[in-house]
Each structure stands twice: as structure tokens, then as C-alpha cells.
Amino acid sequence: MSKLIWFLSFPLFVVISWLGWVVAHGNFYKPGDDIGYNLGLVGSLMMLVLLTYTLRKSLKFARNWGQLKYWFYFHMTCGIFGPILVIFHSGFHLHSVNATVAFSSMVIVASSGLIGRYAYVRIHKGMSGSKHSLNELRQEFYDSQNVIFLELKSYPEVIEILERFNHYALEKNYGLLVKTVRPFVLPVYRQMARYRAKKLLPSKSIEARRLNLFVEDYLYGTERFSQFKIFEQIFSLWHVVHIPLVYLLAATAIWHVIAVHMY
């Protein structure tokens, strides 16, 4: 499902970028025209409606309103396309101080949402809302390690690649700088290790696909185990920061609407 979403996202991104370039360099409408006004209205309503996800997650009487993961997808969709519509509403030009403040607040909140989403999927089981525990990930890691090293006993060079990745991902005696940077560069190291291992494994057979899948799952599991604590801390901090930012966005958006209709 996630791979399909990413596959469809790229052409959509290209189309939106092209439309943005056309609108920014043309003079098709102004923010106060019917088209511009309605784009801003729909975008603002989408950003307002996405708050229903918080109600679904927090209120007891709302917990039977469908699966949480679908609400999360709805929340993310509104959180992406709402700001995009507001950007198109502006025509990619900021004409006043209050528009600049409202726009800047929106960009900050949207960026914060993307950071929160990334941290969320690192410490939760998909979009189900069920949180991993460090002990659970540790057990999964050691179980998979025993299985894959047995499966790859005929490929000692591949095992060596995996062990080097493990050492970098899980070593506790590194300095503060390495420990700080490590969670964010691990995806790059994982792809490099996967590429080197793939070159050493057989190709074009059912067995090859099975072994490559083992390697990929193991590397990803190691990465998640290594990153868990830092992303748990990031997610906790994000919760503290993101909610006030949402209120700031609401206040600036309301002021922007009032100012536009007054003047």
C-alpha cells in the first residue's frame, strides 16, 4: 500500500509543480477573485477539518468512528492538499504583511506535520495507532538475526556486511556527534549495505528473491531498533511544539480573513 502511494505521489508532485509554475508566472486570477477566493476557502476548510482526527483519537465517544489509520490518512491528505490550495490561492505572491504572517505560519505547521508523521511511523505499527516497545523491537531483532544468519551461512561475505551495519547502528561507545547524526544517516547506510549484499547474492531465481527479501527486512529492522529511542523523544517533543503551532495558525488565519473582508 505504502509503495503504491509513493509511486502515485511522484507524477502528482510533477503535475502540481508544473501548475504552480504556470500560475506563478501567469496572471490568471488574484486572491480576491472568485477562483482565488474559493481556493483559499476550500484550503482553509481542509485545514480546519483535519482537526477531526484529534477528536477521533482523543474523545471516548468517537472511538467507534472507523479505524484510526483511515482517519490518519484523511488527516495527512487534508494537511498536504489544504496548504497547497492556499498557496495556489495566493498566486505564489504575498501582497501584505498579514498574508505573509498567515502563510509563514501555515508553512511552519505543515512542515511540523511532516516531521511528526515521519517520527510517528518510526515508533508505531503502521498507521494502526499501536505503539512499539523497545523490548518488542529488541526481541524481533534478535529473532530475525538468528534466522537470517542461518539462511546466509553459505554467504559469509554478506553476513560480514550485515555485521558491519549492525556495529554502526547499535554500537554504544561512539561519541555524542556520531550518536546524534546516526539516526538520520542510517537509511543511507542501509541502502548501501543492501546494494553490496545484493551484488553478492544469486540473481534471477525464487531463492535469490527470498534471500534479498530477508536481507532487506533484516536491515530495516536493525535500523528501526537503533532509531527507536531518539524518534520516541522527537515525537514527544513534537507533540509539545506542534499543538501551539496549530493554534498560532488558526489565529493568523482568522486574522487574515477578518483583515481581507474589512479592508
Q: Which residue has the cell 506563478?
A: 24
34 in the same domain as 67:
yes
Do 21 and 91 reside in the same domain of the chain?
yes
What Rg do the C-alpha atoms of the chain give, in angstroms? 23
123 and 243 share a domain?
A: yes
CA dist 45 and 38 (Å) reads: 10
* Residue 121 and residue 77 share a domain: yes
Q: What is the pLDDT of residue 192?
A: 92
Q: Are residues 74 and 103 in the same domain?
A: yes
What distance in Å separates the CA atoms of residue 78 and residue 82, rounded to the nearest whole number?
5
For residues 128 and 117, give the distance between their C-alpha atoms in angstroms, rounded to a whole number: 13
Find out whether 221 and 141 touch, Cβ atoms under 8 Å: yes
Distance CA 72, CA 58 (A): 13
pLDDT tens series, the chain, 263 aa:
455 566 677 788 888 889 888 888 888 888 888 888 899 889 888 888 888 887 787 777 777 787 777 888 888 888 888 888 988 988 887 777 777 888 888 888 888 888 888 888 777 765 555 566 667 777 777 777 778 888 888 888 988 988 899 888 888 778 877 777 888 888 899 999 999 988 888 877 777 788 888 888 888 888 888 888 788 888 888 888 888 888 888 888 888 777 777 76
**Is 112 found in the same domain as 189?**
no
The per-residue b/e assignment along 101-111, b for 16 or more CB within 10 angstroms, e otherwise, is bbbebbeebbe
Per DSSP, 61 falls in state: G
Question: pTM for the full model?
Answer: 0.69
Residues 11, 82: one domain?
Answer: yes
pLDDT attached to residue 92 = 80
Let me know whether 166 and 48 are in one domain: no
Q: Tens digits of per-residue pLDDT, 86-102?
A: 889 888 877 777 778 88
Same domain membership, residue 140 and residue 115: no
Are residues 203 and 83 part of one domain? no
Same domain, 7 and 112: yes
Query: 9 and 65 share a domain?
Result: yes
Q: Which structural domain range is residue 158 located in?
A: 134-228
Whether 169 and 222 have beta carbons less than 8 Å apart is answered as yes
Domains identified in the chain, total number? 2
